[in-house]
């Protein structure tokens, strides 16, 4: 048997029978984790462009799917704030009457992710690190820093395409949101859900004349530190660079 075989177990669906006999926090009537991390009530939020105000050219889905490629070379043209607003909404935006209804599917509607962006070249938005607030469709500024591109690239093993992008999306997982319902199965679910989110980014970016490149190679501790998260109750799980073609 291959030495790699021991790592394959994570991919298998062999825990459902065991899960049936467990009592996850939801069954024990423990409080449901919040759909979104809190933020200071006096925080200065950045307004994003609402969906009903977008003026985005409609591109047939078939054409988008045919053209979709990972893009690692970007034009110097910045993203506009409406374009960034669209990309954020397309990945984690609320699309229905309650926070469970999002643009990307999630097991049990648990949506375990927080979305952070390193805005490197976005018109009318200072260079900085922000957190997306999907329930408000706004950005929470975390810090502004001129050399942010170098810092995020360092956390991603200095992959060269990162510093040339307009925005780097970084998703963290808050495992307890999914564990509350799915206990031991949660972690496979979270990994699957991350793929849903990033694919939405790929397709949305393609539709506005941009492109994305997913980033799986990052230094866990450096990325968690860059984002200011604990590394335990919340930690980086995926990233992607985006820029205009």
Regarding pTM above 0.75, the answer is yes
Q: What are phi and psi of 226, to 5 degrees?
A: -60, -40
Checking if the pLDDT of 115 tops 90, the result is yes
The DSSP call for residue 147 is T
Instruction: Report the C-alpha gap between 61 and 203 in whole angstroms.
Output: 9
Nearest to 190 by CA among 117, 106, 99: 106
Q: Are 166 and 79 in contact (CB under 8 A)?
A: yes
Compute CA 52 distance to the chain's CA centroid, rounded to the nearest angstrom.
22
pLDDT of residue 145: 85
Task: List, for residues 119-147, the tens digit of each pLDDT value.
Answer: 999 999 999 999 999 999 999 999 998 88
Q: Is 46 left (phi over 0), alpha (psi -120 to 50) or beta?
A: beta
Q: Could you give the percent of the chain with pLDDT greater than 90?
A: 86
Checking if the pLDDT of 1 tops 70, the result is no
Nearest to 128 by CA among 139, 138, 136: 139
**Strands, sheet with 210-215, edge to edge from the N-terminal-most edge strand:** 46-47, 138-144, 128-133, 113-119, 167-173, 235-244, 210-215
pLDDT of residue 187: 95
Residue bearing tokens 């999002």: 102
Nearest to 196 by CA among 108, 93, 91: 91
Task: List, for residues 204-226, the tens digit of each pLDDT value.
Answer: 999 999 999 999 999 999 999 99
Residue bearing tokens 């669906």: 13
Checking if the pLDDT of 202 tops 80, the result is yes
Instruction: Report the C-alpha gap between 132 and 98 in whole angstroms.
Output: 17
The DSSP call for residue 165 is S
106-to-25, 86, 101, 195, 239 alpha-carbon distances in Å: 18, 20, 9, 10, 18
217-to-11, 44, 72, 159, 205 alpha-carbon distances in Å: 19, 33, 14, 9, 21
pLDDT of residue 112: 98
3-state secondary structure (DSSP) of residue 185: helix
Checking if the pLDDT of 185 tops 80, the result is yes
Task: List, for residues 140-168, the tens digit of each pLDDT value.
Answer: 999 998 889 999 999 999 999 999 999 99
Average pLDDT, the chain: 95
The domain defined by 45-50+58-244 carries CATH number 3.40.109.10:
yes
Q: Which residue has the higher pLDDT, 8 or 89?
A: 89
CA-atom Rg of the chain in angstroms: 18
Instruction: Report the C-alpha gap between 114 and 226 in whole angstroms.
Output: 14
């Amino acid at each position: 048997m291959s030495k790699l075989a021991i790592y394959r177990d994570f991919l298998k669906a062999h825990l459902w029978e065991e899960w049936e006999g467990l009592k996850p926090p939801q069954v024990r009537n423990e409080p449901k984790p919040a759909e979104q991390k809190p933020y200071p009530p006096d925080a200065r939020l950045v307004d994003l462009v609402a969906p009903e105000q977008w003026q985005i050219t409609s591109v047939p889905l078939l054409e988008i799917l045919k053209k979709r490629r990972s893009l690692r070379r970007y034009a110097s043209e910045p993203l506009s704030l409406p374009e960034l607003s669209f990309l954020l909404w397309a990945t984690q935006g609320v699309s229905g009457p309650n926070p469970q209804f999002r643009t990307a599917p999630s097991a049990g509607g648990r949506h375990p992710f927080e979305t952070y962006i390193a805005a490197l070249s976005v018109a009318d938005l200072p260079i900085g690190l922000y957190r997306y607030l999907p329930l408000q469709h706004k950005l929470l500024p975390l810090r502004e820093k001129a050399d942010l591109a170098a810092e995020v690239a360092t956390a991603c093993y200095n992959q060269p395409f990162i510093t040339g992008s307009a925005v780097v999306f970084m998703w963290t997982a808050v495992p307890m949101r999914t564990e509350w319902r799915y206990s031991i199965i949660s972690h496979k679910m979270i990994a699957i859900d991350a793929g849903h989110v990033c694919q939405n980014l790929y397709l949305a970016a393609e539709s506005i004349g941009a492109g994305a490149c997913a980033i799986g190679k990052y230094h866990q501790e450096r990325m968690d530190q860059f984002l200011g998260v604990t590394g335990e109750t919340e930690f980086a799980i995926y990233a992607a660079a985006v820029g205009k073609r």
